[in-house]
Amino acid sequence: MRRASREWQRLGERCMERLLFAGSLSGIVTLGAMVVFTFAAGLPVILRTGLGRFLLGQHWRPLEGEFGIAAMVVGSVFVTLGALAAAVPLGLGTAILLSEFAPPWVRRIARPAVELLAGIPSVVYGFYGLVVIVPLIRQHLGGVGFSILAGSVILAVMILPTLITIALDSLRQVPDSYRQGSLALGATRWQTVRRVVLPAARSGVVAAVVLGAGRAVGETMAVLMVTGNVAVLPESILSPVRTLTGNIALEMGYAAGEHQQALFASGIVLFILTMILNGLIQLRRVGRVAR
Amino acid sequence: MSLRRVSTLVLGLALLAVSGITVGCGSPAVQDTETVVIAGSTSVQPLSELLAEEFMKERPGVQVTVQGGGSTAGVRAVTDRVADIGAVSRPLREGEEGLKQFVIALDAIAIVVHPDNPVEELTFEQVREIYAGQITNWSALGGPDRAISLVTREEGSGTRTAFEELVMGGTPIAEGAVVQNSNGAVRATVAQDPSMIGYLSLAYVTPEVKVLRLDGVEPTVDNVKEGRYPLARPFIYVTREAPQGLVKEYLDFVLSEAGQAIVEEAGVVPAR
Amino acid sequence: MEEGLARAVLWGCLLVVLGALAAIVGHVLVQGLPGIDVDFLTTAPRASGREGGILTTIVATLYLVAGALAIAGPVGIACAIYLAEYLREGSLERIARFGVQTLAGVPSIIFGLFGFTAFVLWLGLGWSILSGSLTLAAMILPTLVKAAEEAIRAVPDSYRQGSLALGATKGQTILRVVLPVAMPGILSGVILSIGRVIGETAAVLLTAGSALGFAVSPLDSGRTMAVHLYLLAMEGISVPKAYSTSAVLILLVVGLNALATRITSRFTVRR
């Protein structure tokens, strides 16, 4: 009797372990399935067009069978860089303030506020950009308003929460003894932050920036609503541009046949772009462990 | 050893059950007689929703689902049996003629500008030259000295396809034109910029934008019906086979007097 | 001198960030709140959403949230348990972790493309709550795993040792001791995921479709609040209704965040 029940118990343990094991592979299995499905749908077009002509081609005329995504890649990169240029100083500044200077009550109010910013659906941002930011840019800076600048402003606000929360966490992880040591040597608070705390938190701060960049590259609806979606190489930050994500969301509904495959192909490029960004973070992590 | 085998068996059965459920759910998506799925053109979607709403009032218990997606997606949804009816806002293309088609309405494409723009009327030729990027300033058209900004729809859109076929006649649309993927977004773009010109489905026109006369003709329901307004295209429902059962009932309703009255109410031109 | 300037600049940063938040949330709430009443929340949209409320979109949103959590919840928690309790460092651990982390960085539109080909077309599920749930489940999986793993790792080892010393098996220890203690952390991960499901537009539009009717079976298509808002705004159907829908969405997110904060703070106190 007792032996039998122990056998059952062991059987239960085994079953559980296998189920959990299966669960642990869910991430990689899902990723694999996504790679298979998107590549199967998109790769033929890239192969037919030729990788060079697909990536560097300047003309996107899907109905005439011309698929060049250079303008979209440039669009995605510029909008992302613009967003980072605004969001990195702002986000880091806020994180440093909340971690090092602000009294606790400010942190108690600011942190949930920043998290709220992260929870607002992207369509709300896009809608706000469409009715407020785009007209503002057109009236004060010229152009049609739909522009790299409009996309960057909206994206900057959208990636602020990612930047602030991750940077804040890594700053808080710097041991207080570092700060005390520096202050005891006669450094001011700001000198301590610049010379001691920031260098110590560097890898976390870099991770925050890279994750923010990843979010910016991948954002779709909000950007689509404010960048004007012109698939031409931009001349200035006031030029309208089309991003890779925008290209997919814009034309997916109407695309068929080769056109749709080409959209999946731009999806592949986007996929690889985000994998590279992700790889950057993971490499840093491995490097840190090795050190 | 036997324990390991038993545990593997249990796991296998569990996986089988899960996949069985998934597959079992998969098959009867469309055959279900109590629902009609319509998918396709975003220009037709609001009209289809109105029609579906009225139809469901008359036939309680029946479900008519209306999807967007786009004209081409609608055709494919019908071919793939994801939808019963495809909604298309452009003439059918090569390779699509095998489908049964029913013209449910005619829609005018209105040329619109900002209400502050003094220009009232354009010729077909002028519209083409504007969109080809040959006329670039409103002063050439009797307006103020202001550069013209264009807004167009995305590649593959039914409205754009119809505009290209009817107006552009092979000349490509200038590459610098802002692209928006819906009638509403085109309207919003024009409504906030005095230098913009755009084109959109007549059903979406509101006082936020000013409609231009084209070759002297205003896009009204009557002018389209009589064939006086030149820039019009059909709204088409397509099915894979000759419609039966509930799909047929729905189509009959749409083409009935009551259905066509709803079409007219929505600001679209009835097909009959 | 430098000290003062630096502080001034940093405070400026915070003010800009909070200002942006206030501008967006304020704008939407001011325009949207007046349109929200009991009717708006409890009647179905009429005339493509130009009139009536948003009841059917609320139902579809809840349906999608429940579906995505039902699929991703067990799988994600299983993954987290295995990563935290069973796996030692090694190539298997690296592969499993690589999968989850890479998934976390994939843009939602790619999930949409994947869901569209895999579930809508290949499995033949059509535009449906089920297709949408499966797609979103894949999307929230990394969030869930990360939160659950952290929560499980935070459980002190002494708990496990105590349980094992009393003769419990490893499985019993995990189910009866570790998971209950880690539950608040897991729950806050769940709430974060709910936020992502509620706010997602692109992937939902491609997989769950945009039908306005009541979704009854998981094979019905449904339009979530975020998709409804997108269509209202972009098709220019009704700007006031669009504002009101965004206001409801924002209030929901505020509520969820408050809930998450309460759960997490309770968790911290108990430790």
- pLDDT of B15 higher than 70: no
CA distance A105 to B196: 49
Same domain assignment for residues A94 and A159: yes
- pLDDT of B242 higher than 60: yes
Q: Which residue has the tokens 């998971």?
A: C179
Residue B146 with chain A: CB contacts under 8 Å = none
Same domain assignment for residues B113 and B147: yes
Same domain assignment for residues B13 and B65: yes
Number of residues assigned to chain A: 291
**Tokens found for residue C249:** 């969405």
* Cα radius of gyration rounded to whole Å, chain A: 24
Is B178 among the domain residues? Answer: yes
- pLDDT of C90 higher than 80: no
The model's confidence at residue B13, banded by pLDDT at 50, 70 and 90, is: very low
Residue B25 with chain C: CB contacts under 8 Å = 125, 130, 218-219
User: For the segment B137-177, what is each residue's pLDDT rounded down to a tens digit?
Assistant: 999 988 889 899 999 998 878 888 889 988 898 888 988 89
CA distance C208 to C239: 24
The model's confidence at residue C268, banded by pLDDT at 50, 70 and 90, is: low
Cα atoms in the Cβ-side hemisphere of radius 13 Å centred on A4: 1
Please list, in sequence order, all residues whose beta carbon lies within 8 angstroms of the beta carbon of residue B157, skipping any fewer than 6 positions away.
A254, B70, B71, B181
Q: What is the mean pLDDT of chain B?
A: 82
Cα B24 from chain centre: 33
For A54-81, what is the mean pLDDT?
Answer: 88
pLDDT of residue C168: 86
Same domain assignment for residues A156 and A19: no
The pair phi, psi for residue B31, each rounded to 5°, is -60, -25
C49, B68 Cβ separation under 8 angstroms = no
Q: Which residue has the tokens 């502080």?
A: C7
* Count of structural domains within chain A: 2
pLDDT of residue A255: 67
Least confident of A281-285, B2-6, B199-203: B2-6
A56: left (phi over 0), alpha (psi -120 to 50) or beta: alpha
- pLDDT of C131 higher than 90: yes
For A197-226, what is the mean pLDDT?
Answer: 89
In angstroms, how far apart are the furthest CA atoms of chain B? 91
**Tokens found for residue C266:** 């309770």
> Of chain B residues 103-142, which have a CB less than 8 A from chain C?
none
- Relative orientation angle of helices A26-49 and C91-105, to the nearest 10 degrees: 60
* Count of structural domains within chain B: 2
Write down which chains contact chain B via at least 3 CB pairs under 8 A: A, C
Residue B185 with chain A: CB contacts under 8 Å = 130, 225
Write down which chains contact chain A via at least 3 CB pairs under 8 A: B, C
Is A63 among the domain residues? Answer: no
CA distance C78 to C211: 34
Is B2 among the domain residues? Answer: no
Is B3 among the domain residues? Answer: no
Same domain assignment for residues A258 and A139: yes
Q: Do A96 and C95 count as a contact with CB atoms less than 8 A apart?
A: no
Task: Please check whether residue A249 touches B, CB under 8 A.
Answer: yes
pLDDT of residue C71: 93
Domain at B72, CATH number: 3.40.190.10
Same domain assignment for residues A156 and A279: yes
Within 10 Å of residue B150's Cβ, how many Cβ atoms? Answer: 23
The pair phi, psi for residue C90, each rounded to 5°, is 170, -170
ipTM: 0.85
Is B181 among the domain residues? Answer: yes
- Relative orientation angle of helices A2-24 and B2-26, to the nearest 10 degrees: 50
pLDDT of residue B27: 37
pLDDT of residue B71: 81
Cα atoms in the Cβ-side hemisphere of radius 13 Å centred on A285: 13
Same domain assignment for residues B94 and B113: no
The neighbouring-strand residues paired with B259 are none
For C244-267, what is the mean pLDDT?
Answer: 83
| Contact residues, chain B to chain A, C-beta under 8 Å | 3-4, 6-8, 10-11, 14, 42, 68-73, 75-76, 149, 154-158, 172, 175-181, 185, 188-189, 192-193, 195-196
The model's confidence at residue A55, banded by pLDDT at 50, 70 and 90, is: confident
Please list, in sequence order, all residues whose beta carbon lies within 8 angstroms of the beta carbon of residue C53, skipping any fewer than 6 positions away.
C39, C40, C41, C42, C43, C44, C45
Any idea of the CA torsion for B12, B14, B15, B17, to the nearest 10 degrees? 120
The model's confidence at residue A254, banded by pLDDT at 50, 70 and 90, is: low
User: Looking at beta carbons, which pairs linking B136-141 to residues 24 or more positions away fall under 8 Å?
Assistant: B138/B195
First-to-last CA distance in chain B? 77
- pLDDT of B179 higher than 50: yes
Same domain assignment for residues A169 and A80: yes
Same domain assignment for residues A7 and A144: no
Specify the CATH superfamily of domain C37-270.
MetI-like (1.10.3720.10)
Same domain assignment for residues B157 and B212: yes
- pLDDT of C217 higher than 60: yes
Q: Do A41 and C117 count as a contact with CB atoms less than 8 A apart?
A: yes
Same domain assignment for residues B134 and B164: yes
Same domain assignment for residues B116 and B189: yes
C28, C243 Cβ separation under 8 angstroms = yes
Residue A134 with chain B: CB contacts under 8 Å = 192
For B27-33, what is the mean pLDDT?
Answer: 41
CA distance A218 to A225: 14
* Cα radius of gyration rounded to whole Å, chain C: 22
Q: Calculate the alpha carbon distances from A75 to A132, C110, C160 in Å.
A: 22, 18, 53
Which of these, C41, C38, C57, lies nearest to C228 by C-alpha position? C57
pLDDT of residue B143: 86
CA distance C131 to B27: 13
Same domain assignment for residues B58 and B22: yes
Cα atoms in the Cβ-side hemisphere of radius 13 Å centred on A197: 30
CA distance A101 to A94: 10
Same domain assignment for residues B99 and B114: no
For C181-199, what is the mean pLDDT?
Answer: 88
Q: Which of B32-41, B66-75, C110-119 is predicted most confidently?
A: C110-119
Between B and C, how many residue pairs show a Cβ–Cβ distance under 8 A? 88
Between A and B, how many residue pairs show a Cβ–Cβ distance under 8 A? 100
Same domain assignment for residues B115 and B217: yes
- pLDDT of A23 higher than 80: yes
Is B123 among the domain residues? Answer: yes
Residue of C nearest to A109 (CA): C18
The model's confidence at residue A268, banded by pLDDT at 50, 70 and 90, is: very high
Same domain assignment for residues A138 and A279: yes
Same domain assignment for residues A84 and A22: no
Cα atoms in the Cβ-side hemisphere of radius 13 Å centred on B26: 13
Q: Do C212 and B37 count as a contact with CB atoms less than 8 A apart?
A: no
The CA distance from A257 to the nearest CA of chain C, in Å, is 13
Between A and C, how many residue pairs show a Cβ–Cβ distance under 8 A? 251
Least confident of A273-287, B231-245, C43-57: A273-287
Q: Where are the domains of chain C?
A: 37-270
For B100-120, what is the mean pLDDT?
Answer: 91
C131, C218 Cβ separation under 8 angstroms = no
Is A107 among the domain residues? Answer: yes
CA distance B89 to B218: 21
Q: Do B178 and A229 count as a contact with CB atoms less than 8 A apart?
A: yes
User: For the segment A275-289, what is each residue's pLDDT rounded down to a tens digit?
Assistant: 888 877 777 665 554
- pLDDT of C61 higher than 80: yes
Strands C45-46 and C51-52: antiparallel
Same domain assignment for residues B97 and B69: yes
pLDDT of residue A58: 84
CA distance B134 to B143: 16
Same domain assignment for residues A128 and A223: yes
Same domain assignment for residues B205 and B248: no
Same domain assignment for residues A82 and A221: yes
pLDDT of residue A286: 52
CA distance A125 to C1: 39
CA angle C248, C250, C255 (to 5 degrees): 95
The CA distance from A10 to the nearest CA of chain C, in Å, is 9
Number of residues assigned to chain C: 271
pLDDT of residue B6: 46
Task: Please check whether residue B61 touches C, CB under 8 A.
Answer: no
Q: Residue B113 in 3-state DSSP?
A: strand
A79, A152 Cβ separation under 8 angstroms = yes
Domain at A168, CATH number: 1.10.3720.10
The model's confidence at residue B130, banded by pLDDT at 50, 70 and 90, is: very high
Please list, in sequence order, all residues whose beta carbon lies within 8 angstroms of the beta carbon of residue A3, skipping any fewer than 6 positions away.
none
Q: Do B50 and C218 count as a contact with CB atoms less than 8 A apart?
A: no
The model's confidence at residue B62, banded by pLDDT at 50, 70 and 90, is: confident
This prediction's pTM: 0.84
- pLDDT of A62 higher than 90: no
Q: Do C21 and A116 count as a contact with CB atoms less than 8 A apart?
A: yes
Which domain does B99 fall in, by range?
Answer: 8-106+235-270
User: For the segment A127-182, what is each residue's pLDDT rounded down to a tens digit?
Assistant: 889 888 998 998 898 788 899 999 999 999 999 998 998 999 899 889 989 999 99
Same domain assignment for residues A134 and A235: yes
Residue A162 with chain C: CB contacts under 8 Å = none
Q: Do B181 and C124 count as a contact with CB atoms less than 8 A apart?
A: no
Is B230 among the domain residues? Answer: no
Which domain does A194 fall in, by range?
Answer: 70-290
Is A17 among the domain residues? Answer: yes
**Tokens found for residue A174:** 């710097």
Same domain assignment for residues A87 and A11: no
